[in-house]
Each structure stands twice: as C-alpha cells, then as structure tokens.
Structure 1
Amino acid sequence: MPGTPTRIPGPEIALMGLLALALTPATPAAAHFQELIPSTEIVTEGGNTPVGLSLAFTHPMERGPVMEMAEPVQFGVLGPAGREDLKSALKRIKVDGKSAYTAEYRVKKPGDYVFFVEPAPYWEPGEGKMIVHYTKVVVDAFGAEDGWDAALGLPVEIEPLVRPYGLWTGNLFRGIVKQYGKPVPFAAVEVEWRNDGSVKPPADPFVTQVTKADSNGVFSYAMPKAGWWGFAALLDGPTPLTSPEGKEVPVEQGALIWVRTRDM
C-alpha cells in the first residue's frame, strides 16, 4: 500500500536462511578409481597371447571425467616367471585431453598373471589430500588357474577369496582388505561398474555401491551385471605427503582390484 514502509528482514529471518543453507545436502564427491583393464581376463590355448592393458584415473560408472595421470611409480606383473618390471612398456596417450597409459604384454607360459600399478600421488584439492590407488587385475593363461591369490606385498591390497576370473553375472565376489599385510576390520569398500553407456544411474547412491568388511577384513558383493567391476578399499595412509602448495596433507591409500563378469 502507498505509504507503507518497506520491511527489512530481521535477524531471525537471516538466521533461518543460514540454517536452510547449512541443512542443504552437499553434492557428494564422485569416487575416483584407478583403472587397470586388460583386453581379456582369460587367455585360451590358441588365443591371442598379447594382452593389452589400459590405465586411466577416472570415474568408471559416470564414464568420466578422466583425470591427469602422471607416470606411475611402478607397473609390473607377478606371474609364473616371478615379478617383472613393465614400466618400459607403458605408452602415454591422451583420453579426453588427459594423460593415460596403455601397455602390451605377451603371455609366454601357463599360469596366472597379476598385473599391478602404483600410480604417482594425485593431488585432490577438493578433498585436501593426496590419493594413491594401488591397483591390480588377474589374467589367467592357458587354463593354469594357479597363482590368482598371490600377494604383491603392496602397502594396501585386496586379497581375493574368490577366483577373480571365470565369473558369471550374479556371482558373489569376496576379498580381504589388508594394510601392510594385516586385515583391516570394518574397512569400507566402494564398488563401481565400468559403465559402457548402457546404464544411467537413477540417483547418486547408485553410482558407487558401498559395503563394509567384517571384523576380519572380509567383504562380499554380488555383481548384478556383466562387465568390469572395481573394488576399492580406501584407507588412511600413515605418513602425510606434501601437496603442490607445499603443505603436509593426509594420504588416501586405495587398495583396488578389478574383476570381470560375463552373462551365462
């Protein structure tokens, strides 16, 4: 009405606004997964023995974005001939403008080959920490089916309790989360499917599945769709690292393993 003075919101209105902002759910940070994906998880007699490997640091279920990946600290394989250093086989490529890597390994004899990578620490300013995801994947050659549970001695590692290949869709995968060789009770394990573009998650909780290990560090998860599944146990590292800004920051040590399921 004419002549009615404009009302200025009082302090109680301002307080309500602040409370509303504080109670607004924050958008969850997308899960980072170090990918180490072979061209096949089983090399058969008479098959194509060179195994191609793709390495990228990304968000598998959301199909990106890909994050810049510096040259790995170590990349190798534990197989019938023992441990081999494969760093010289790495080739840097660009994926969505970011550095990623490929490699090729020729299988020479029957056995299980445990490929692994220790990436360079990745600075995540949004979380204020460095990320190092120790990642492995097992490839069986010529039906040997021996050595799939071999330990690599990494600072953090998932020891498979189920043979991590020859898996049907719906199979239950089980593993032990270990840090410096000891089981980690009640460790949280994030699980993501490497999306081929055929699935659109209906809500954020469907992007990254979360399960917890029991008191012995053992976790399990039934994989509902064919494809590559990544299991990531994210643990606090014991020693801080220096960020690009020159500050000491905490370290996230990730123990990752990739397994593939196929439809029956």
Structure 2
Amino acid sequence: MRRTLGAFMAAFTAVMASGQPAGAHFQELLPSSDTVAEPAQSKVTLDLVFTHPMERGPVMPMARPARFGVKSNGTIEDLSALLQPRTIAGAQAWQAVYEVKKPGNYVFFVEPQPYWEPGEEKMIVHYTKVVVDGFGHGDGWDTAVGLPVEIRPLVRPYGLWTGNVFRGIVEAKGEPVPFADIEVEWVNDGTITPPSDAFITQVIKTNAQGEFAYAMPRAGWWGFAALIEADQPMQSPTGKPVPVELGGLMWVRAVDMK
C-alpha cells in the first residue's frame, strides 16, 4: 500500500510540476466541414491543435509537423506548404486551407513532431486523420494512409447522426491490434461540465480482432485515440532513453437529427 501511494504521489508531483492536468492528450485535426456539397463550400479550413478537448485545455505547444498531407483517389499529396502558424492560449498551433476541386473522399492526416511529456516521462507521437467527403463521392472513406498506427473506419466517418455507433479497426504496421486501449473525448464547446474525472476521457478496448465500437451521445467532434507503445525508445530532452506513446487518432463528427 505504501509503495502504491508513494508511486501515486510521485506521479502527482511530476504532473503538478509540469503545470498540466493528467488528462488525455489529443492531436486535433478538425476541418471546417466534413462534407463539401457544392463549389461555394470547396475551401476547407483545417485546424491543428494539441490539447485536452473535453477539458478545453491546456493547449500544448506544437512544433511544425513532420508530415501533413491528404490521400484521395489513391494519391497522397503533400500539404506541408499550406501550414500557417497560429497562437492559441499562448501556445503554437497550425492551420491550413485546402480547396476541394473534384469528387472524392479526402483523408487528411498529420504526423506531428515527438512531444516530450515530463509528467509521464515519455514522448508522444499521435498520427491523426480525418475524412472529408467531396461532392458526395461515397467511395474511399475506409482507405488506409499507411501510418505506423491508424484507425480504419468500419462505418462511414461522416454523415453521422448523434447516437450513431462508430466502429473501426486499429492497425499497426498494417496488422490488427487486439485489446488495444482507445481513449475517446468530445470537443467541449463549454456546454458540458463533467461530473467527475472519470467522465472526461472515455476508455474502451479493441476486441481480439482489433475492432471497437462507440455510440456518440452528443453532437460535435469526437476523437478516438488508439494507443500503443513504440518498439524503440526515444531520447528525452535530458538525454535519457524514454518510452514512446504512439497514437492512431481519428476524428468523427455527429450531428443532431432535427
């Protein structure tokens, strides 16, 4: 019991020293719309922010992404040149504007630079994606980008009503990951105050086939973060080898039926 309490106090002290709560980290990649229905709506703004969505912060500083692009119609396009820095709550974030010019499902993705989390003594790399439908194309929404770890949707990830069940399969190096942890958070618009910490981050697991399911109870953006540990450690800012949390994230929006 003493060792358990001692370990807890050590972790608590480290988190407090870092100035950040112990909530889940989420790499946001949120488009202004997940569907483009007509040419007048063809410009999509994508916001890249590293934060705690349900708690509405803090915002962690995000270095220029190692990779940012989109996959559509079987082709990957590098969008790094579109990234523009912006400041949110005193921390660096990024934004890009992309014009959808032809029908297709556009799978936007980002590979951020490794982030050092002192409170947990590990590096974090969250490979993140979101799908935007161009002009009702319909096909290609389940296309894999080929990220080290990613979620492949088993339900079309747009045009979803509140209460719909989102299903996916977690893959690492192209293979399903059984019993992987998945953290789920809603991008809080300020209308919800979680009654306790247990409600901030929902936690689910994949089954033996690497599949998962979650019913989204409220309209808005939902982030699904499948977490695994990398095979090799990285070097911390102090020069110490530390574990690496790899995340395969996907963002899905639910809309109220009116």
TM tier, smaller: over 0.9
Q: Does 1:249 align with 2:242?
A: yes
Which residues of 2 match residues 45-56 of structure 1 at below 5 A? 45-56=38-49
Three-state SS of the structure 1 residue aligned to 2:81 is helix
CA distance in 1, matches of 2:162, 2:3: 46
Contact 1:80 1:110 in 2 (8 A): no
Give 2:35's match in structure 1, choosing from 39, 42, 53: 42
Which residue of 2 is the match for residue 168 of structure 1? Answer: 161
Deviations 1:138-175 (A, max 9, x none): 00010001110001110000000000000000000000
TM-score by length of 2: 0.92
> 4+ residue runs of structure 1 moved beyond 3 angstroms?
18-28
Q: Does 1:218 align with 2:216?
A: no
Q: Mind listing any 5+ residue stretches in structure 1 that lack a counterpart?
A: 1-15
CA distance in 2, matches of 1:138, 1:145: 11
Q: Shift in Å at residue 46 of structure 1?
A: 4.0
Q: Shift in Å at residue 45 of structure 1?
A: 2.2
Which residue of 1 is the match for residue 115 of structure 2? Answer: 122
CA distance in 2, matches of 1:61, 1:114: 24
CA distance in 1, matches of 2:112, 2:228: 16
Q: Does 1:73 align with 2:66?
A: yes
Which residue of 2 is the match for residue 96 of structure 1? Answer: 89
Give 2:181's match in structure 1, choosing from 188, 191, 197: 188
Three-state SS of the structure 2 residue aligned to 1:104 is strand
Give the greater-gyration-radius structure (CA): 1
CA distance in 1, matches of 2:129, 2:160: 17
Q: Mind listing any 5+ residue stretches in structure 2 that lack a counterpart?
A: 13-20
CA distance in 1, matches of 2:43, 2:7: 54
TM-score by length of 1: 0.90
Q: Does 1:86 align with 2:79?
A: yes
Deviations 1:50-94 (A, max 9, x none): 000000000000000000100100000001371100001000010
Aligned length: 248
- The alpha-carbon distance between structure 1 residues 123 and 109, as it changes in their structure 2 partners (threshold 3 A), is same
Q: Shift in Å at residue 22 of structure 1?
A: 5.0
- Quote the RMSD (CA, aligned, Å): 1.9
- The alpha-carbon distance between structure 1 residues 19 and 49, as it changes in their structure 2 partners (threshold 3 A), is closer
Deviations 1:11-50 (A, max 9, x none): xxxxx9x699659897682100000000000000244100
Deviations 1:177-208 (A, max 9, x none): 11111101011110000000000000001000
CA distance in 2, matches of 1:211, 1:47: 39
CA distance in 2, matches of 1:147, 1:23: 47
Paired-residue identity, %: 63
- The alpha-carbon distance between structure 1 residues 242 and 19, as it changes in their structure 2 partners (threshold 3 A), is closer
Q: Give the letter aligned to residue 198 of structure 1.
A: T
Q: Give the letter aligned to residue 39 of structure 1.
A: S
Which residue of 2 is the match for residue 143 of structure 1? Answer: 136
